[in-house]
Amino acid sequence: MRRKLKDVCAKSVAFRVVGGRLEGVKFYSGCPGNLQALGALLEGMPVEEAVAKLKGIPCGERKTSCSDQLARVLEARAKPAARRKPRKKSGPPAGP
């Protein structure tokens, strides 16, 4: 899964969740050494633990960071389907 990030140097992040754990976290652009290290540290970590550790971390004067953006992506991914808006079904208009 690859997702775009907002208001940070990294343009996007890719990862897999297998059995509730993160695998293959890779950031595109940004600070290569730090983000490669972050990906290595997150390898195999439960998603909930990663969110708890990364959420709310700022970067310099910014109110967010690459790690905070990843936490937001993971949280959004974990929202139950019931909380998402149902899609409208298309079909013929109702009769007279």
Average pLDDT over residues 55-62: 95
Position 94 confidence tier, pLDDT thresholds 50, 70, 90: low
Q: Global pTM?
A: 0.80
Decide if pLDDT at 53 tops 80: yes
Q: Give how far Cα 11 sits from Cα of 22, 29, 37, 94, 96, Å.
A: 19, 6, 17, 45, 51
Q: Give 18-51 pLDDT, tens digit per residue.
A: 999 999 999 999 999 999 999 999 999 999 999 9
Mean predicted lDDT score pLDDT of the chain:
89
Assigned token pair, 16: 């897999």
Position 79 confidence tier, pLDDT thresholds 50, 70, 90: confident
